[in-house]
């Protein structure tokens, strides 16, 4: 589809500088712009590219002042916040690509399942007994939805996702390819012979509204009760969330985070990539955990933590400064020991 600068400016409440009739039919980064592309400039570090870009339209902040001549083929749309406006356009562009209702074949929907006429179901997907699928749901190819699963309105489930029995997915969620929701928690108890016996995992996973889960994540079902991912949580790729974990509203975690069983993560917690959180602890609201940190005990007060075990960021920086100087300190200590030996030798 094509859009004119006039149409885009109207949508964003922006001001046009150039030809209002300029047309675009794709989106591109400003450094990769080409004729017919729409780009944006928000970060001053990328300003150099606006003077050479081949994009037809560029969204800029109202206070942007060009320090060089702009390409004659470039039309500007000035807005209050270029980044958020471009994000709005990305969302619009994405909505235009949404699937229309359709049941591809071969696929399977159990006769006891409840689905709406607005469902898109990709080929080779399966919906089990007594499951309930909401309005405008998109279930892509090779998805398995077990029995008694609930999926809320406007949720998108990408290829090769598996949702085990009794799990609940809220509205406006996105689950990316390869993720498994509701697999058994890692529950084993050693017997008298030292052999591990499996503890049945009879709970479920509850994912509330507006949650996005990246590719190839695993969210384990509770031993009893529910593993809960609360409203607005964002989970990156390759994350592991164990049984009975509770992740608070609007928290976010980057790739390869691991959270052990029964940990309680507060609201608006930010967790960097490859961080590990031990089980049966609580992380206070608004805590920030730096990438590759390890959290072995409860965090009672919001702070920015780094290291393993995680300590306040300023303390970590001081400690790391000392750690970096250890070779120098050890060399000095060795020199002092040698000098002391020499003095003792001379005294004798």
- Rounded CA-CA distance 340/115 in Å is 84
Residue of 112, 187, 98 lying closest to 145 (CA atoms): 112
Using an 8 Å Cβ cutoff, are 27 and 43 in contact? no
**Which residues are designated catalytic?**
243
Could you identify the residue written with the tokens 């998805």? 143
């Amino acid at each position: 589809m094509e859009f004119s600068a006039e149409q885009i400016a109207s949508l964003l409440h922006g001001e046009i500088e150039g030809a209002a009739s300029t047309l675009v039919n794709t989106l591109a980064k400003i450094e990769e712009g080409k004729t017919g592309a729409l780009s944006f400039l928000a970060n001053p570090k990328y300003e150099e590219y606006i003077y050479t870009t081949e994009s037809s339209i560029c969204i800029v902040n109202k206070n942007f002042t060009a320090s060089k001549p702009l390409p004659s083929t470039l039309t500007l749309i000035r807005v209050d916040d270029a980044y958020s406006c471009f994000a709005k356009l990305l969302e619009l562009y994405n909505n235009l690509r949404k699937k229309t209702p359709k049941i591809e074949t071969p696929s399977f929907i159990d006769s006891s399942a409840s689905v709406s006429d607005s469902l898109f179901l990709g080929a080779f997907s399966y919906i089990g007994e007594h499951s309930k699928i909401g309005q405008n749901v998109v279930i892509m190819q090779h998805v398995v939805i077990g029995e008694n699963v609930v999926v809320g309105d406007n949720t998108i489930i990408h290829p090769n996702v598996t949702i085990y029995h009794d799990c609940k997915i809220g509205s406006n969620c996105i689950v990316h390819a390869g993720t498994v929701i509701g697999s058994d928690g890692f529950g084993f108890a050693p017997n008298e012979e030292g052999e591990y016996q499996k503890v049945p995992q009879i709970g479920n996973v509850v994912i509330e509204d507006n949650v996005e889960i990246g590719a190839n994540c695993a969210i384990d079902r509770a031993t009893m009760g529910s593993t809960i991912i609360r409203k607005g949580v964002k989970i990156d790729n390759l994350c592991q969330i164990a049984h009975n974990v509770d992740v608070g509203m609007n928290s976010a975690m980057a790739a390869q985070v691991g959270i052990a069983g029964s940990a309680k993560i507060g609201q608006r917690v930010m967790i960097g990539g490859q961080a590990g959180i031990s089980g049966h602890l609580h992380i206070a609201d608004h805590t920030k955990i730096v990438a590759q940190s390890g959290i072995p005990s409860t965090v009672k007060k919001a702070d920015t933590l780094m290291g393993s075990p995680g300590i306040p960021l300023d303390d970590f920086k001081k400690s790391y400064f000392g750690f970096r100087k250890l070779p120098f300190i050890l060399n000095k200590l060795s020199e002092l020991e040698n000098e002391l030996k020499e003095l003792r030798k001379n005294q004798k």
